[in-house]
Amino acid sequence: MLGLIDYQGAIHLWRVDKVDFCVCMGAYLGVVSAASRSGSSWRDHLHPPRAPVSSPGRGRRCLGNIPNSMIYRRMDQYTTAQTVPGVLVLPVGSIDTSGTSMLDELKKTLERRGIQIVLANPGSEIMKKLASSKVLELIGHEWIFPTVGEAVASCNYVLHSHKPGAVMDSAAPHENMV
């Protein structure tokens, strides 16, 4: 059974989120000490409720700009909210370890396409997890803003200050923002 343990993954999980680590270890110990059904039920009972990273496919929870303001609200709740061309604004209330891994992969995938991830108003818990998982370094502190309005304004500036089709080096801001 020891061959089933991904030691590097366990160490990473411990560094990023000790609660998730304990949940996984509880599930593993439950599987080892009893039937796999018991291990699954241990995991389900031990894991605290957490909100997953929101995806735009579930209920179209994209944020849009309220006209004549710097306020961004859910487009499914505010019919007057408008999209910002070239910018996709998604709300994320909390993130778990799988969310940081997904964000890491998303950043790498989008970077190959010339698209930059920009974070607005991430809470202290999200910042801790992003820092401990090294995703914060990957995104870059210069792409983190205190409000959605400031993040979008920065994206608009970058989008409109570069000539279309111009080749930019990897240190320069990207043409598209998420």
- The pLDDT, as a whole number, for residue 177 is 59
- The pLDDT, as a whole number, for residue 143 is 93
pTM above 0.75, yes or no: no
CA distance 24 to 35: 16
Structure confidence at residue 176 as a pLDDT band (50, 70, 90):
low
CA distance 92 to 172: 26
Tell whether the model's pLDDT for residue 54 goes beyond 80.
Answer: no
pLDDT in tens, 117-134: 899 999 998 899 999 999
pLDDT in tens, 72-103: 998 889 999 998 888 888 888 888 888 888 88
Task: Supply the DSSP string of 73-89, one letter for each residue.
Answer: EETTT-TT-B-BTTB--
Which domains does the chain show, CATH number per domain?
A: 2-46 (no CATH), 63-177 (3.30.750.24)
Residues 89-109 as b/e (b if ≥16 CB within 10 A, e otherwise) read bebbeebbbebbbbbbeebee
pLDDT in tens, 21-49: 887 777 777 666 665 444 444 444 444 44
- The pLDDT, as a whole number, for residue 174 is 47
SS3 call for 120:
strand
- Mean pLDDT, the chain, rounded, equals 77
Average pLDDT of the residues in 14-23: 82
Average pLDDT of the residues in 134-140: 92
